[in-house]
Amino acid sequence: MIMTQPTCSTRSWRRPGALLLGGVLALNVASAEEIIHERIESEEHDLRLVRMVSGLEHPWGMAVLPDGRFLVTQRTGQMVLIDGGEVTELDGVPEVSAQGQGGLLDVVLHPRYGEENGGEGDNDWIYFAYSKPGDDGTASALARARLEGESLTDVEELFEQDRNSSPGRHYGSRLAWQEDGTLLMTVGDRGVEPERAQAGDDHAGSVLRLTDTGGVPDDNPFVDDDGVLDEIFTLGNRNIQGLAVAADGAIWASEHGPLGGDELNLIEAGENYGWPEASRGVDYGTREPIGVESLPEMRDAVYVYADRFAPSGLAQVDSERFGEWQDNLLAGGLRSEELKRLVIEDGEVVYRERVLQGQIGRIRDVRQGPDGYLYLLNDAGDGGLYRLEPAD
């Protein structure tokens, strides 16, 4: 059993040159809704695609507040609050490293946000993942904060991976809550030493499971194993950037693989998903296979995405607005610019459909909102927040 201690940080940071006018971020942000496509035909539903906001700078993750406002992270280091026609940059974001693939990454609300639990606002925490700068590289980190007006307050750093490294790649950093109130966080292999994903004494290349205060749940799979860090839930993951906990409790993950090796995995406690010893992809430079396709002691992917899908963002549909898509997964693609629908039966992908391709560019995040509509972020210097809704 290897213990690591959470630390605290309350540093604030603002991107130079951002001008606030009356609390509203004065950037090239357009916030009037615009129908991009009146009708997109799919096999089960005809869809309307609406751009809610444009001018966001490489948006990465989003969360919907109980009052319908959106929190959106920008990889460049800002969190913005979107309220109808206004986009406001929030003060109080910790210092982040926005080099390479790093920056301010995923964001989720406490699962009981808005509920009073012994006092007003006890559960009103916003959790966010980011790349934390250090003297010898960067680390994947997790913090939480409260929203007060136009600021993040009471900022607490809950987790920092045990080893800083360079370059700024493969942070993972997707977040998802389980029904038991524990928080899953993905950490990539950091892009240079893939064998780190097989090292139990290294957070890189894993899924972590934490309490809502950043501690270690008593029933984590490796708490009695002296060779594995207590936070680790699974090993052998290259770079998970899509994570969804289904209504039945199943944990689904979209994982960036090497060339041709992007995966959909069913995440289960204590399992090893093979990277880099088992992979369906090849090296980007040499085109040589990486590892073998399968090993008996490691979990195979449920599904390998075709070509260079580059997955990011994953959601399960359970909204009555999309009645024919019940329990389907929607996976976003970066390089492919696709939104892919995956039909799951008995833990297997039995059917797939390309719902979008190219309409909004690189899809970074996919969420179902509390209103039952589907929301997308596209990864671009002039990125946007989009709503996907039934056309009829």
In the block, residue with structure tokens 């959790």? 127
| Residues sharing a CB contact under 8 Å with residue 271, sequence separation 6 or more, in sequence order | 234, 235, 298, 299
Q: Is residue 31 scored above 80 in pLDDT?
A: no
Instruction: Find, among 379, 312, 303, 302, the residue nearest to 339 by Cα.
Output: 312
Q: Which residues contact 199 (CB under 8 A, 6 or more apart)?
A: 205
* Amino acid 10: pLDDT: 30
| Encoded tokens for 194 | 């893939």
Q: For the chain, what percent of residues have pLDDT higher than 70?
A: 91
Which one-letter amino acid corresponds to residue 351? Answer: Y
Q: Are 362 and 378 in contact (CB under 8 A)?
A: yes
Tokens standing for residue 126: 């916003």
Q: What is the CA radius of gyration of the chain?
A: 20
d(CA 392, CA 385): 21
What are the pLDDT digits (tens) for 150-209?
999 999 999 999 999 999 999 999 999 999 999 999 999 999 999 999 999 999 999 999
Question: What amino acid occupies position 342?
Answer: L
Sign, CA torsion 7/89/209/231? negative
Q: Is 207 exposed, middle or buried (0-12, 13-18, 19+ CB in 10 A)?
A: buried
Q: Are strands 374-378 and 348-357 parallel, antiparallel or unpaired?
A: unpaired
Q: What is the mean pLDDT of the chain?
A: 92
User: What are the respective helix, strand and coil percentages of the chain, to the nearest 5?
Assistant: 5, 45, 50
Which residues are part of the catalytic machinery?
Answer: 170
In sequence order, what are the beta bridge partners of 50?
Answer: 35, 387
366/314 Cα distance (integer angstroms): 6
* Spatial distance between the Cα atoms of 108 and 183, rounded to a whole number of angstroms: 10
Closest CA to 97 of 186, 168, 8: 168
Check whether 17 has a pLDDT greater than 60.
Answer: no
Q: What is the largest CA-CA distance in the chain?
A: 60
In this structure, the dihedral spanned by the alpha carbons of residues 274, 275, 276 and 282, taken in order and rounded to 10 degrees, is 110
For the chain, the straight-line distance linking the first and the last C-alpha, in angstroms and rounded, comes to: 56
Q: What's the CA gap between 52 and 380, in Å, rounded?
A: 15
Identify whether the C-beta of residue 203 lies closer than 8 Å to the C-beta of residue 162: yes
Strand partners, 115: none
Q: pLDDT confidence of 117, banded at 50, 70, 90?
A: low
Query: What pLDDT is recorded for position 118?
Result: 59
| Residue type (1 letter), 32 | A
pLDDT in tens, 67-95: 999 999 999 999 999 998 789 999 999 99
Residue 116 has a pLDDT of 72
- In the block, tokens 């008996």 appear at 296
Prediction pTM value = 0.92
